[in-house]
Structure 1
Amino acid sequence: MLLASEQELLREGLAALCERSGRHEVVGQCGDGSAAVQVASARQPDVCLLDLGLRSLHAFELISRLRRAAPNTRTVIVAERADARCARGILHAGASGVLLTSGPLQSLFDAISLAAEGGIYLPPGLPAEGVLAEADAGDPLSALSEREYQVFRLLVEGVRPKEIANRLDLSPKTVDSHRKNLMRKLDIHDLPTLVRFAVSRTGAR
């Protein structure tokens, strides 16, 4: 198993729990996305636990790169929070599950085992029927494309457009185009209002 997170405490904690269980061998730990791709390519782990908060590359882009580098590796995203829209995007990007850091210890082992077997793991608060269903037409965010939603999340987290371009491997012009499109679709005309809109939604921050 491969662990990828900028938070050393999180990486070491997960590694210790997995090693102590005797069921999951940790073959590598990485603090950034590029290193994770390199290690995955070299070691071809069964499962990669990937921190949603990695800043070097956006998680969705990193999932895609991991799939190319290690086609048989299953990726599980580790996050502090995730609503149905976010989880849907994670699964559509090619991940095999979402693991919440607030969940019980057993959820860690369940997520790893299920992903390794080719299944999809979702925490109890995110029922599969809600996540895998088509987006609710009444939800303003359902109008956004996956890439627009990625830009939306990074903008409301305070990430600058130039850094968004780096994380998503896009040109600044393309990021600006996505920003304009998503704000038009949401009928929002400035960043402070966009942030307030995000804060009002569970898990959007």
Structure 2
Amino acid sequence: MEQRIHILIVDDHPVVLEGMKALLQDNDMVEVDACCSNGQDALAFLLENKVDVILLDINLPDISGIDLCKLIKQQYADIHIVAISNYNERSMITKMLQNGATGYVLKNASAEEIIDAIRAVVKKTVYFSPEVQKSLFEAALDDPLDLPKLTRREQEVLRCIAEGKTTAEIGDTLFISPHTVETHRRNLMQKFQVSNAAALIRVASQYQLI
């Protein structure tokens, strides 16, 4: 039997906490280690316990889930975070991704969908609920001007980054110097308003640019 994935659920609604715990407890793949109703309790739990995935609500009484997501990823880079929310707006989804989340599901999700999200993020891939994917796609269609304007060379560098190539490998592929590659990389991060390559790939995927 595969080793269980250890889960922390953070949500300020007791009904949601208990409901989500009940949805997951019958699955042999996961173990719900704890449920916390605020950010302070979640951080205190993480000081003493190791988990693999956090199911994180965006609305918390003491700190926003967006800020808590960033704090957790800064302190525990190996933890995977799945946002659990009633919000389906692109701005909210993007903020969670930029702050380290790699999954986003709605609170009406089934146990199967939540398990799919957990499985995906543990495998280091991004997971969106079907409704979230639809919302992102429709928002992009409604507001095409919101897409970052990339030069042809920036598009080439972005594709290489998404393929996992190093700066040197990108330089060799595109016949440009490592310094030029780094300049394009900085410009891309500035245009997408992100601070690292992982966030760059996530947001570019959201815009369907890679």
Match of 2:124 in 1: 118
Identical residues among aligned pairs (%):
22
Correspondent of 1:18 among 17, 24, 47: 24
For 1:11-40, what per-residue CA distance to the aligned partner results, in whole angstroms no more than 9, with x for missing partners? 111112211112110111111101111212
1:126 aligned counterpart, secondary structure: helix
Match of 1:103 in 2: 109
Q: CA deviation at 1:85?
A: 2.3
Aligned residues: 139
Whole-Å separation in 2 of the counterparts to 1:16 and 1:103:
13
Give me the CA root mean square deviation: 2.6
Q: CA deviation at 1:130?
A: 3.8
Do residues 67 (structure 1) and 73 (structure 2) align? yes
Contact 1:99 1:122 (C-alpha < 8 Å) held by counterparts: yes
For 1:27-65, what per-residue CA distance to the aligned partner results, in whole angstroms no more than 9, with x for missing partners? 111111011112123212100001112121011110011
Instruction: Kindly name which structure, 1 or 2, has the bigger radius of gyration based on alpha carbons.
Output: 2
Opposite residue 94 of structure 1, the aligned amino acid is G
Unpaired runs of at least 5, structure 2: 1-6, 149-210
TM-score, normalisation: structure 2: 0.59
For 1:148-190, what per-residue CA distance to the aligned partner results, in whole angstroms no more than 9, with x for missing partners? xxxxxxxxxxxxxxxxxxxxxxxxxxxxxxxxxxxxxxxxxxx
Unpaired runs of at least 5, structure 1: 143-205
Q: CA deviation at 1:127?
A: 2.6
Q: CA deviation at 1:136?
A: 4.2
1:125 aligned counterpart, secondary structure: helix
Q: CA deviation at 1:69?
A: 2.9
Do residues 58 (structure 1) and 64 (structure 2) align? yes
Runs ≥4 residues deviating over 4 A: 135-139
Whole-Å separation in 2 of the counterparts to 1:25 and 1:90:
24
Contact 2:24 2:111 (C-alpha < 8 Å) held by counterparts: no
Whole-Å separation in 2 of the counterparts to 1:55 and 1:99:
20
Q: CA deviation at 1:102?
A: 2.1
Higher strand share: 2
